[in-house]
């Protein structure tokens, strides 16, 4: 059978087809180049319109009338001005061109996929928290449009989100700490627990900004910090949380400035006593040692160490250290004395005031009572049917502010129920150290942490809250036990240099011995 000839277009091979495809592609490219500004402006106008719609939706109903009136007034003024409307149109196009620029840096497609996947799983994880069945147009729904919910997002070089602004519906109970905490926990789990994230809730705008925060400096050791009289350094925090900086020396002696958390004690203090809570090894003893080193510069210190591991032995016998008590008898004697001393100071200062004199100097020298692990002593006291040493803290806690007496208590999480009511009530400066859940932090500080809780925290790392103030991240400077064999030489020297000297014992010169009687007439 004769073969039928192919149609002429196919007979000439594939070359003409390829050529025409190339022509079409280059025409499309040229068109895109030519139309690019228009596309950008169009995208910008769309984004501006979307932003306007959002703003309008967020504006309370009673403010919409005045807003419309303002817009109409501006349009009227522009129309009355010469070239007013064309100039306003040109300005709008310029803003649209700027807004419509594609800000996303070019990234490999695989990375884009992974990031997109991450955002989608984050979006879907939030559905149960940010939606209710009756919502006719839920912002969060399975398979929904996450672009509407996530106002903006950015990733670091490793592909982890480092900033995310997400919108949430108006009915979400953002004023309730428990509701916030639930959302924060989901976000922390989905974003990755290796990094710490900060949560800033904008209750007016129904927006939550999640930002990855840099680690706090953990290379700083105890040193003579340049604080004002009556101020003591608890540690360092985020620059965003304080307006102050403190000059410090880094590990190589290099000077730098760090944002401090300063705690004021004494007559002008609003939170004159402190409670630090942590798990074993979290650094509460080091915090007390760091405070003792600062306190000894201007005052006297009484240490009661319920842990009894000798971690304050370096203080024993130093100038200004009244006693370091490690057993129940010593603790009771020391705290009883502190109680009487507080009363004596109050009476002496009151008498001086009545006579029109300034308070005597011996009532103004700061006295610090550092009580580490009181629960251990309370347990012993109960077993022996004796007084709980904490009960002797009642007077110093209640009247310490006026008498320049400061009480600092450190306890472990699993023994906080042994803390007495006066200790809980009067210690309004609070610190939590070590790995703790958000609920544990909230239990001690009275408010949840402002960041996610990391899986691994270096010792001395935690949160602080002074009274009703905001919760801040905290890194305590290292003040290790210089007598501990594991302490690095540089740290040991840093602590020893800050310790006051031990008073020299009075040395009585030996009584001159009678020279032996020289027999008369003997030759020397």
Ligand X SMILES: Nc1ncnc2c1ncn2[C@@H]1O[C@H](COP(=O)(O)OP(=O)(O)OP(=O)(O)O)[C@@H](O)[C@H]1O
Query: Which of the residues 478 through 497 are near ligand X (CB under 6 A)?
Result: 478, 480
**Cα–Cα dist 46/287, whole Å:** 55
The residue among 33 and 485 lying less far from ligand X, judged by its C-beta, is: 485
| CA 473 – CA 447 distance, rounded (Å) | 13
By CB under 6 A, residue 280 contacts ligand X: yes
Whether residue 209 contacts residue 161, with contact meaning beta carbons closer than 8 Å, is answered with no
Report which of 491, 414, 452 is spatially closest to residue 198, judged by C-alpha positions. 452
- DSSP, collapsed to helix, strand or coil, labels residue 465 as strand
Per DSSP bridges, beta strands 367-372 and 300-305 are parallel
Report residue 61 CA to chain centroid gap: 38
How far apart, in whole angstroms, are the C-alpha atoms of residue 108 and residue 117? 14
The answer to whether the annotation marks 330 as part of a ligand binding site is no
Cβ distance to ligand X smaller for residue 282 or 406 = 282
Report the site for ligand X in 304-363 (rule: CB under 6 A).
307
Cβ proximity to ligand X: between 102 and 485 the closer is 485
Q: Is 278 annotated as contributing to ligand binding?
A: yes
CA angle 80, 78, 62 (to 5 degrees): 115
**H-run or E-run covering 221:** none
Binder of ligand X out of 299, 460, 462, 482 (CB under 6 A)? 460
274, 476, 494, 495: which one contacts ligand X (CB under 6 A)? Answer: 476
Is 8 annotated to bind a ligand? Reply is no
284 is in an annotated binding site: yes
Kindly identify the residues of this chain, within the stretch 181-240, that bind ligand X according to CB under 6 A.
218
Q: Which residue is nearest to ligand X (CB)?
A: 460
Pick the piece of the chain touching ligand X (CB under 6 A) from 284-292, 313-321, 342-350, 464-472. 284-292
The secondary structure of 100-120 as a DSSP string is TS--SPP--HHHHHHHHHHHH
End-to-end CA distance of the chain: 156
* Binding window for ligand X (CB under 6 A); candidates: 249-257, 278-286, 374-382, 508-516: 278-286
Residue (328 or 478) nearer to ligand X, CB:
478
Considering only 278, 374, 396, 400, the residue that binds ligand X (CB under 6 A) is: 278
Q: Please report whether residue 284 would count as binding ligand X according to CB under 6 A.
A: yes
- 282 touches ligand X (CB under 6 A): yes
Are 126 and 78 in contact by the 8 Å Cβ rule? The answer is no
Q: Which residue has the tokens 């680690």?
A: 215
Q: Which residue has the tokens 């306003």?
A: 88
507 marked ligand binding residue: no
DSSP state letter for 139? S
Contact between 406 and 367 (Cβ < 8 Å): yes
**Least Cβ distance, residue 222 to ligand X (angstroms):** 9
Distances (CA, A) of 310 to 7, 375, 412, 419, 500: 101, 17, 17, 22, 18
Q: 367 vs 479, which CB is nearer to ligand X? A: 479
Of these, 66, 215, 251, 281, which contacts ligand X (CB under 6 A)?
A: 281
Closer to ligand X by CB, 215 or 281: give it.
281
CB environment 29-61: b (16+ within 10 A), e (fewer): eeeeeeeeeeebbebbbeeeeeeeeeeeeeeee
Closer CB to ligand X, 266 or 462, in the complex: 462
Question: Is 273 annotated for ligand binding?
Answer: no
For residues 39 to 58, the per-residue mask of contacts with ligand X, x marking binding by CB under 6 A and - elsewhere, is --------------------
For residue 286, state whether it binds ligand X (rule: CB under 6 A): yes
Q: Pick the piece of the chain touching ligand X (CB under 6 A) from 95-103, 168-176, 473-481, 505-513.
A: 473-481
Nearest-angstrom CA–CA distance, 210 and 180: 12
In this complex, which beta carbon is closest to ligand X, that of residue 400 or of residue 460?
460
Q: In what order do the strands lie in the sheet with 161-167?
A: 150-155, 161-167, 207-213, 196-202
Q: Look up residue 452 and give its two tokens.
A: 């996610």
**Does the annotation flag 283 for ligand binding?**
yes
Q: Is 246 in the site for ligand X (CB under 6 A)?
A: no
Stretch that binds ligand X, among 8-16, 52-60, 152-160, 273-281 (CB under 6 A): 273-281
Q: From the CB of 371, what's the least distance to ligand X, in Å?
A: 13
For 312-330, b/e burial (b = at least 16 CB within 10 A) is: bebbeebebbbbbbbebeb
| Residues binding ligand X: number (CB under 6 A) | 16
Which residue lies nearer to ligand X by CB, 131 or 390? 390
283 binds ligand X (CB under 6 A): yes
Quick one: 323 or 376, whose CB is closer to ligand X?
376
Is position 281 annotated in a ligand binding site?
yes
* Binding site members for ATP: 278-285
* Binding site members: 278-285
What is the binding site for ligand X (CB under 6 A)?
218, 278, 280-286, 307, 459-460, 476-478, 480
């Amino acid at each position: 059978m004769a073969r039928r000839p192919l149609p002429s277009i196919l007979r000439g091979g594939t070359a003409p087809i390829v050529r025409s495809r190339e022509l079409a592609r280059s025409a499309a490219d040229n068109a895109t180049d030519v139309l690019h500004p228009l596309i950008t402006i169009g995208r910008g106008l769309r984004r501006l319109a979307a932003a306007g719609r959002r703003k309008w939706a967020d504006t309370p109903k009673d403010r919409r009338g005045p807003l419309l009136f303002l817009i109409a007034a501006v349009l009227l003024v522009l129309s009355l001005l010469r070239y007013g409307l064309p100039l306003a149109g040109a300005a709008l196009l310029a803003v649209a061109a700027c807004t419509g620029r594609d800000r996303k840096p070019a990234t490999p497609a695989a990375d884009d996929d992974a990031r997109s996947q991450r955002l989608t799983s984050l979006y879907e994880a939030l559905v149960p928290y940010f939606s209710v069945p009756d919502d006719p147009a839920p912002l969060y729904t399975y398979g929904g449009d996450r672009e509407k919910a996530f106002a903006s997002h950015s990733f670091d070089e490793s592909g982890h989100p480092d900033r995310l602004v997400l919108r949430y519906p108006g009915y979400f109970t953002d004023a309730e700490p428990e509701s916030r905490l639930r959302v924060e926990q989901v976000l922390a789990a989905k974003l990755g627990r290796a990094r710490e994230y900060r949560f800033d809730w904008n209750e007016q705008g129904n927006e939550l900004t999640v930002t990855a925060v840099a680690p706090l400096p953990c290379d700083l050791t105890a040193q003579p910090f340049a604080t004002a009289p009556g101020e003591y350094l608890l540690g360092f925090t985020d620059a965003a949380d304080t307006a102050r900086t403190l000059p410090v020396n880094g590990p190589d002696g290099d000077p730098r400035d760090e944002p401090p958390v300063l705690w004021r004690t004494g007559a002008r203090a609003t939170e004159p006593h402190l409670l630090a809570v942590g798990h074993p090894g979290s650094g509460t003893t080091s915090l007390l040692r760091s405070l003792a080193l600062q306190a000894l510069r201007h005052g006297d210190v009484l240490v009661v160490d319920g842990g009894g591991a000798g971690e304050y032995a370096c203080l024993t016998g130093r100038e200004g250290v009244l006693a370091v008590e490690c057993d129940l008898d010593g603790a009771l004697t020391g705290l009883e004395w502190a109680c009487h001393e507080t009363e004596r100071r109050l009476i002496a200062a009151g008498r001086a005031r009545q006579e029109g004199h300034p308070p005597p100097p011996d009532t103004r020298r700061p006295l610090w009572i550092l009580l580490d692990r009181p629960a251990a002593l309370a347990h012993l006291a109960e077993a022996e049917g004796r007084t709980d040493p904490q009960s002797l803290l009642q007077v110093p806690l209640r009247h310490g502010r006026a008498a320049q007496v400061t009480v600092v208590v450190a306890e472990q999480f699993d023994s906080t129920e042994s803390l007495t009511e006066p200790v809980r009530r009067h210690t309004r400066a609070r610190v939590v150290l070590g790995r703790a859940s958000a609920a544990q932090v909230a239990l001690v500080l009275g408010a949840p942490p402002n960041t996610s809780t990391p899986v691994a925290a270096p010792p001395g790392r935690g949160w602080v809250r002074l009274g009703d103030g905001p919760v801040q991240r905290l890194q305590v400077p290292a003040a290790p036990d210089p007598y501990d064999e594991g302490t690095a030489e540089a740290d040991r020297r840093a602590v020893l240099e800050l310790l006051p000297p031990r008073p020299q014992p009075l040395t009585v010169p030996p009584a001159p011995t009678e020279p032996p009687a020289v027999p008369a007439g003997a030759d020397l």
